A and B are shown apart, each in its own frame.
Chain A
Amino acid sequence: MEYKAAALVACSTLALALPAVAADPIKIGVIAEAQAVAGSSIGPAAQLAAEEINAKGGVDGRQVEIVVYDNHSSSAESVRAFQRAVSEDKVNAVIASYISEVVLALEPWAGRLKTLMITPGAASDVITQNIAKDYDHLKYTFHGYLTSSALAGLVCDAAKDLLVTPLKMKSAVIVSEDAAWTTPLDAGYEACLPKVGLKVLDHVRFSPDTTDFTPIFNKIEGQKPDVMITGISHVGTQPTVQWKSQQVPIPMFGISSQATNSTFWNDTNGATEGVLFNAVSGPGVAVTPKTLPFVEAYKKKYGNVPAYSGYTAYDEVYMIADAVRRAKSTDSDKLVDAMEKTDYIGTIGHVAFLPKGDPHVHGLRTGKGYITGLMLQWQDGKQLNLWPKELANGTLKFPAFVKVATTR
Chain B
Amino acid sequence: MLFWQILIDGFAISALYALGATGFTLIFGVSGVLNLSHGAIMVAAAVAAWAAAGLLHVNAYVASLIGIAVGIVLAFATYFIAVRPIQQSKRIAESEREIFILTATLLWGIIIQELVAYLYTNNAKTVLPIVEGVVTVFGVRTPSNEFFTAAVCWVVIGLLWLLVNKTRRGKAVLAASMNPRGVTLLGIELSGIYLTVWAVYGLLAGIAGILLGMFLGVSSYSVGPLTASAFSIVVLGGLGSVSGSLIAAYVVGYLETMTAYMISPAYRSVPALLLLIVVMYVRPQGLFGRR
Q: Which residues of A contact B (CB under 8 A)?
A: 35-37, 40, 73, 178, 206-207, 209-216, 218, 235-238, 241-242, 245-247, 258, 266-269, 271
Interface flags, B251-289, vs A, CB<8A=1, else 0? 000000000110001101000000000000000000000
Task: Indicate which residue in B13, B53, B128, B141 contacts A247 across the interface (CB closer than 8 Å).
Answer: B141
Judge whether A246 and B123 touch: CB under 8 Å: no
The CA of A212 and the CA of B253, in the complex, are separated in Å by: 12
Is B81 in contact with chain A by the CB < 8 A criterion?
no
The CA of A384 and the CA of B118, in the complex, are separated in Å by: 30
The CA of A207 and the CA of B270, in the complex, are separated in Å by: 13
Is B67 in contact with chain A by the CB < 8 A criterion?
no
Task: Report how many A-B pairs have Cβ atoms within 8 Å.
Answer: 84
Is B103 in contact with chain A by the CB < 8 A criterion?
no
The CA of A268 and the CA of B50, in the complex, are separated in Å by: 10
Judge whether B124 and A215 touch: CB under 8 Å: no
Judge whether B128 and A269 touch: CB under 8 Å: yes
Judge whether A40 and B129 touch: CB under 8 Å: no
The CA of A215 and the CA of B141, in the complex, are separated in Å by: 12
Judge whether B125 and A237 touch: CB under 8 Å: yes
Q: Which residues of B contact A211 (CB under 8 A)?
A: 216-217, 222, 225
Name, among B5, B13, B123, B225, the residue most crowded by chain A CB atoms within 10 Å (CB to CB): B123
Judge whether A35 and B260 touch: CB under 8 Å: no
Is B134 in contact with chain A by the CB < 8 A criterion?
yes
Q: Which residues of A contact B132 (CB under 8 A)?
A: 245
Judge whether B122 and A35 touch: CB under 8 Å: yes
Judge whether A35 and B118 touch: CB under 8 Å: yes
Q: Using A36-B122, A73-B122, A258-B123 as known contacts, say yes or no to A245 and B129 having CB atoms under 8 A apart.
A: yes
The CA of A8 and the CA of B217, in the complex, are separated in Å by: 71
* Least distance between B148 CB and chain A CB atoms (Å): 11
Q: Which residues of B contact A (CB under 8 A)?
A: 5, 9, 13, 53-54, 117-118, 121-129, 132, 134, 141-143, 145, 216-217, 219-222, 225, 260-261, 265-266, 268
* Least distance between B134 CB and chain A CB atoms (Å): 5
Specify the chain B residue showing the minimal Cβ separation from A265.
Answer: B54
The CA of A236 and the CA of B121, in the complex, are separated in Å by: 13
Q: Using A211-B217, A238-B126, A245-B145 as known contacts, say yes or no to A206 and B121 having CB atoms under 8 A apart.
A: no
Q: Using A206-B266, A211-B222, A246-B141 as known contacts, say yes or no to A267 and B123 having CB atoms under 8 A apart.
A: yes
Q: Which residues of B contact A242 (CB under 8 A)?
A: 216-217
The 3 closest A-B CB pairs, nearest first, are: A237-B124, A245-B143, A238-B217
Interface of A is mostly: loop
Q: Which residues of B contact A40 (CB under 8 A)?
A: 121
* Least distance between A249 CB and chain B CB atoms (Å): 9
Judge whether A35 and B266 touch: CB under 8 Å: no
The CA of A178 and the CA of B266, in the complex, are separated in Å by: 10
Q: Which residues of A contact B266 (CB under 8 A)?
A: 178, 206-207, 210
The CA of A135 and the CA of B128, in the complex, are separated in Å by: 51
Instruction: Add 17 more A-B contacts to A236-B123, A238-B217, A247-B134 (CB < 8 A).
Output: A35-B122, A35-B220, A36-B123, A37-B121, A207-B265, A211-B216, A211-B217, A211-B225, A212-B9, A212-B216, A245-B129, A245-B134, A246-B142, A247-B143, A267-B124, A269-B127, A269-B129
Q: Which residues of B contact A37 (CB under 8 A)?
A: 121, 123
* Least distance between A305 CB and chain B CB atoms (Å): 15
* Least distance between A281 CB and chain B CB atoms (Å): 20
Specify the chain A residue showing the minimal Cβ separation from B117.
Answer: A35
* Least distance between A97 CB and chain B CB atoms (Å): 15
Judge whether B217 and A237 touch: CB under 8 Å: yes
Q: Using A35-B117, A237-B217 as known contacts, say yes or no to A212 and B126 having CB atoms under 8 A apart.
A: no
Q: Which residues of B contact A235 (CB under 8 A)?
A: 124
Q: Which residues of A contact B141 (CB under 8 A)?
A: 246-247
Q: Using A206-B266, A238-B216 as known contacts, say yes or no to A246 and B124 having CB atoms under 8 A apart.
A: no
Q: Which residues of B contact A207 (CB under 8 A)?
A: 265-266
Specify the chain A residue showing the minimal Cβ separation from B143.
Answer: A245
Q: Which residues of A contact B128 (CB under 8 A)?
A: 269
Judge whether B126 and A246 touch: CB under 8 Å: no
Task: Indicate which residue in A215, A236, A245, A258 contacts B265 across the interface (CB closer than 8 Å).
Answer: A215
Task: Indicate which residue in A216, A247, A268 contacts B126 across the interface (CB closer than 8 Å).
Answer: A268
Q: Which residues of A contact B121 (CB under 8 A)?
A: 35-37, 40
Q: Using A211-B217, A212-B13 as known contacts, say yes or no to A238 and B124 having CB atoms under 8 A apart.
A: yes
Specify the chain A residue showing the minimal Cβ separation from B116.
Answer: A35
Judge whether B124 and A269 touch: CB under 8 Å: no
Name, among B118, B126, B132, B221, the residue most crowded by chain A CB atoms within 10 Å (CB to CB): B126
